[in-house]
Amino acid sequence: MSTSSAELETGAADEAHERLLTGWGRTAPSRAEVVEPRTADDVAEALAGAGPRGALARGLGRSYGDAAQNAGGRVLAMSLLAAVREIDEEAGEATVDAGVSIEQLVQLLVPMGFFVPVTPGTWHVTVGGAIAADVHGKNHHRDGSFCDHVVWFELLTPAGERVRLARGDELFDATAGGMGLTGIVLSARLRLLRVESAYMTVDRERAGDLDDAMARMSARDDEYRYSVAWIDCLARGRSLGRSVLIRGDHAGADLAPAGRGNGALAVPGGTKLAAPPWTPPGLLRRSTVRIFNEAYYRSAPVSEIGRIEHMRPFFWPLDSVRNWNRIYGPSGFLQYQLVVPFGREDALRESLER
């Protein structure tokens, strides 16, 4: 069966207007002419009309740095190009516009028994942004990254050509993780994951230091689809790298508290809490974060098996506070992420010691 849901299209396209843009870290603001296309033809027109600084796509601006700003040039804000074109329940695949968000997809798909194959730690991310950054989720060790589940996407090249690309095409591989520099992704066909409920079975355990955390993850990560460690980056000495390991899987319908039926598959939207519009600089300092970390570590269970939790706090805990990035104050914040190969775990220790 196929379902199309044009009702998911939102809003109207604005005229081009100049705006001050930042990434989610709110550092390095810069001005750009922002256009909000609503159709693929609008995108082509906006791209063709860009000046010498060219045009760059922007999703929901959840990149921490300046990846979606294009100072002095044109930015195509893609979130109005947001129709779900087709859901093929038999094949377990969906065709969506690039501006569709993970939030939109999850709320539509989970009640139908499907989930996105990979999600980052916020659901306020567009499919175009997920392809451009080839985002990873807590299931990276098992399922790879977002583009491993993209059957094809349609790209508008800088020359104005619309091409459909699949894995193996050179331009597909350059666009997956290409940060918007190969053109504008217009739409994509995604392979979905079948789920029986909107709930997770979650195991939590504390690890006393970095070696302990690494040993526990190496020993048992393969048993879980999802695995993540919260690390206390301020702990020192014998507690350096102390962590809370959080690992889980989708719960079967029989385990979901709402039982069989639609309750078990419901994903409520909305956010009750919001950060205040302005916070004083320095609210988050080492001493306050140390207190938070201590409390978080101590309140985590030493070991807890099979807790049933809704998927929202499991996958997207930070989304429970709207605009949480403001609490870092007006000058914003930087986030460091690193990937190290097996055998170079010492690099993690070194980075925690800094």
Ligand X SMILES: Cc1cc2nc3c(=O)[nH]c(=O)nc-3n(C[C@H](O)[C@H](O)[C@H](O)COP(=O)(O)OP(=O)(O)OC[C@H]3O[C@@H](n4cnc5c(N)ncnc54)[C@H](O)[C@@H]3O)c2cc1C
Q: Which is nearer to ligand X, 139 or 201 (CB)?
A: 139
| Binding residues for ligand X (CB under 6 A) | 24, 56-63, 67-68, 78, 98, 120-122, 125-126, 128-129, 132-133, 135-137, 179-180, 184-185, 318
Strand partners, 193: 115
The secondary structure of residue 14, as a DSSP letter, is P
Q: Which is nearer to ligand X, 209 or 315 (CB)?
A: 315
Q: Name residues whose C-beta falls within 8 Å of residue 15's C-beta, 6 or more positions apart in sequence.
A: none
Q: Which is nearer to ligand X, 136 or 256 (CB)?
A: 136
* Nearest-approach distance from CB 233 to ligand X, in angstroms: 16
* Nearest-approach distance from CB 69 to ligand X, in angstroms: 9
Q: Which is nearer to ligand X, 28 or 91 (CB)?
A: 28
* Nearest-approach distance from CB 319 to ligand X, in angstroms: 7
* Nearest-approach distance from CB 61 to ligand X, in angstroms: 4
d(Cα 213, Cα 241) in Å, to the nearest integer? 8
Q: Which is nearer to ligand X, 126 or 243 (CB)?
A: 126
* Nearest-approach distance from CB 255 to ligand X, in angstroms: 25
Residue type, 186: L
Strand partners, 250: 200
Q: Which is nearer to ligand X, 13 or 255 (CB)?
A: 13
* Nearest-approach distance from CB 89 to ligand X, in angstroms: 26
Residue 198 CA, chain-centre distance (Å), reads 18
**Residue closest to ligand X, measured at CB:** 59
Residue type, 212: D
Helices 346-353, 210-220: crossing angle, 10 deg rounding:
140
Q: 270-274: which pairs have CB atoms within 8 A and are 24 or more residues apart?
A: 271/319, 271/320, 271/321, 271/322, 272/320, 273/320, 273/321, 273/322, 274/321, 274/322, 274/323
Q: Which is nearer to ligand X, 68 or 256 (CB)?
A: 68
Residue 339 CA, chain-centre distance (Å), reads 17
* Nearest-approach distance from CB 228 to ligand X, in angstroms: 9
Walk across the sheet containing 93-97 and list its strands: 2-5, 84-88, 93-97, 184-191, 150-156, 162-165
